[in-house]
Amino acid sequence: MNKKTPENGPQASPAQVLPQAQFLTITEEEAGQRIDNYLLRICKGVPKSHIYRILRSGEVRVNKGRIDQLYRLVEGDVVRVPPIRLAEKTETVVPPCEFDIIFEDTHLLVIDKPAGVAVHGGSGVSFGVIEQLRASRPDAKFLELVHRLDRDTSGLLLLAKKRSALTNLHEQMRDGHTDKRYLTLAVGDWKNARQHVKLSLRKYSTPDGERRVSVSEDGLPSHTVFSLLKKYANFALLEAELKTGRTHQIRVHLASSGFPIAGDDKYGDFALNKALQKADATRGALKRMFLHAHQITFTHPETGKAMTLRAPLAAECERFLVSLGKPLN
């Protein structure tokens, strides 16, 4: 628990309590991160511009001395956080929730995230997986997302229970030492048993602020390998192996290749998606995007052991496949 000592200051009336400086002692789990990132995490609701202003002005001190925004915290550091007045707002009540756990130890928590649940709050979402897990585990000293999944994607989601584990796994992902694989149902007459898609991707925002991705020559290099698992009359069950980890990579690579993901409401066949929501004589209903993170391989950040974890295909996706009948291959 951080030690907090209010700084002596002028008396204030009970109706208008003045904010006070805090002195926070850095724990082992907090050590190693940059001071700006630390402040952004603990000063929720404070604009980034204000955080960097108080850093530049010297109002933030570490061990009574001035530091810059690149300073990395050390265990035992005492950080002075100046008085910051936050605008009053209604506190969001986060309902605690436990998800299906695939793996857990003192360093990692791996869950099977259901479709339709955001991984974190923001952009019109009051709370997500991380906020719900923290509410369910109030005694957890540290719990952070290692990576993200789209709201409509189900499957394996890694969370770190120690900062050292978070840093290690981020390094593995950055250096290409992890292997992430997804199951997805593509629309159309897929031909190849194994197909590489290399299309550069660029992020942009729509006029209403929605995040989108498009194929662009000036985008970031992106590479997905698709393997055909089962072929149906109008669909193909594929395993997608990520060689890079760009936003919406699988979705855009398939849509741009002429094989959109069934149920994809951003890049898919919108007329077909609407039709799929109701069962007909040839198949059942599909009311979600058919994209599931089913396997991940990485090195355990503490033991160094190679780990491969799997999450079974979501039940609603499995039911839809069964409704399609016997595969053609």
* Residues tagged active-site: 150
CA distance 223 to 37: 31
- Count of positions (residues) in the chain: 329
In the DSSP assignment, the letter for residue 181 is E
Judge contact between 117 and 148, C-beta under 8 A: no
Q: Which helix (H) or strand (E) holds 41?
A: helix 35-42
Cα distance between residue 213 and residue 276, in whole Å: 24
Burial of 124 (0-12, 13-18, 19+ CB in 10 A): exposed
Q: Which amino acid is at 179?
A: D
Helix (H) or strand (E) holding 242: strand 235-242
The CA distance from 303 to 94, in Å, is 34
Q: How far does CA 63 lie from the centroid of its chain?
A: 34
